[in-house]
Amino acid sequence: MAEAQNIPVGSTTAGQIAVAAESTVATRMSAPASFDVADFPVPHGREEEWRFTPLERLRGLHDGTAVATGDGVRVDVEAPEGVVVETVGRDDARIGRAGTPVDRVAAQAYSAFEKAGVITVPKETVLTEPIRIAVHGEGGTAYAHQVVELGAFAEAVVVIDHTGDALLAANVDYVLGDGAKLTVVSVQDWDDKAVHVGQHNALIGRDAGFKSFVVTFGGDLVRLHPRVAYAGPGGEAELFGLYFTDAGQHQEHRLLVDHNVPHCKSNVVYKGALQGDDAHAVWIGDVLIEAKAEGTDTYEMNRNLVLTDGARVDSVPNLEIETGEIVGAGHASATGRFDDEQLFYLMARGIPEIDARRLVVRGFFAELVQQIGVPDIEERLIAKIEEELEASVA
């Protein structure tokens, strides 16, 4: 894919590798992480962490005016035998162990939820079927919290499926015991009006493996913070993301991998396609290699494919290195266009326009979709991509 020269008007691709004592990852936040919403000032939109987000479309999630209603979201959990599914109160000790809210909306969600879901896969339990969490928006406003905890050497696949319409701020904690393997697929397949903001924290145990697919198609505004930290050496994180941003949609993914422990790995690949007027995708990829994290191996990449005029991408990889004793660290970001010349070339070989677009977009996403490993989700994603493309050509 062509690099800088192909970036459409209005997009930015910036990147930096900082080797400094002063952490820009920390200083770019307007307040330190906290569970209490009162510790965060109401954002005005000029703050570094809010500058890409249209605040008015948060409909009050950021300023305390969005009050939970009874008809927010319905959550149904389908879990194979051996899994413990609970609903617990705010004071349950298992809540909030994987990470602390880093912005006002995440803290608002933490301060406002009444009951939390806790799903536990006991140690050494290896599941052959996925755990499915269906989050269906019923049109109201909700604050929620979900914990997924795997005991040592447990293995599980969790699918969190968001559909319907809601104004939702929800955080998720993934806690992986030593040697555990967790694959999470979070699908944001919301209706057009939905607003979804959340922080997804993963705490990866010694020699544990965390694989995450964040798939965002729907919603008016989706803003997610997938964040990873390590509880012991030997941990591996693979963070994959796909988004298909349509006219008028704002889809923002703000990642942080905190290499706070020696000898851990991380690999981040997010890919997005955009089409239509005012489609806006934001990707922030922060990787922090702390001074003590010797032997770190990390790579992050963001690719965007702009299918039509009028879409905008802001892609900001940021790698911060406090030790030179690492295996590898790299990042890449590129935004390319599917342009009229490509379309002409394919059509000049007899390929109809819709098939030409399909060919390009499927090819673009294929390497990620094939790695999900949950067939019904893979099929649904392909179908969804096709549907989006049909709509664009019609």
Partner 1 sequence: MATLEIRDLHVTVEADNATKEILKGVDLTVKQGETHAIMGPNGSGKSTLAYSLAGHPKYTITSGTVLLDGEDVLEMSVDERARAGLFLAMQYPVEVPGVSVSNFLRTSATAVRGEAPKLRTWVKEVKEAMERLNMDPAFAERNVNEGFSGGEKKRHEILQLELLKPKVAILDETDSGLDVDALRVVSEGVNRVRETGEVGTLLITHYTRILRYIKPDHVHVFANGRIAESGGPELADKLEAEGYEAYTKGGASE
Residues lying near partner 1 in the complex (CB under 8 A) are found at 1-2, 305, 336, 340-342, 344-353, 355-356, 359-361, 363-364, 366
d(CA 28, CA 17): 15
Q: Which residue has the tokens 């942080």?
A: 256
Three-state secondary structure of 323-353: CCCCCEEEEEEEEEECCHHHHHHHHCCCCCH
* 73/306 with CB nearer partner 1: 306
CB 21, min distance to partner 1, A: 40
* 133/381 with CB nearer partner 1: 381
CB 355, min distance to partner 1, A: 7
Nearest Cα residue to 299 out of 322, 314, 323, 317: 317
Nearest Cα residue to 205 out of 226, 172, 234: 234
CB 354, min distance to partner 1, A: 10
* 197/360 with CB nearer partner 1: 360
Q: Which residue has the tokens 């905190």?
A: 258
Q: Are 165 and 74 in contact (CB under 8 A)?
A: no
Q: Are 293 and 260 in contact (CB under 8 A)?
A: yes
CB 183, min distance to partner 1, A: 25
By DSSP bridging, strand 155-176 and strand 280-289 are: unpaired
The overall longest dimension of the chain from CA atoms, in Å, is 64
* 307/326 with CB nearer partner 1: 307
CB 350, min distance to partner 1, A: 4
For residue 321, the cross-strand partners are 289
* 199/304 with CB nearer partner 1: 304
CB 301, min distance to partner 1, A: 14
CB 388, min distance to partner 1, A: 16
CB 368, min distance to partner 1, A: 11
Residues 6+ apart with CB under 8 A from 316: 12, 13, 14, 15, 283, 284, 285, 333
Burial of 344 (C-beta count, 10 Å sphere; 0-12/13-18/19+): exposed
* 17/359 with CB nearer partner 1: 359
Q: Which residue has the tokens 């307040």?
A: 31
Q: Give how far the C-alpha of residue 90 lies from the chain's centroid of Cα atoms, to the nearest Å.
A: 25
Q: Are 331 and 285 in contact (CB under 8 A)?
A: yes
* 265/271 with CB nearer partner 1: 271
d(CA 297, CA 309): 37
* 45/352 with CB nearer partner 1: 352
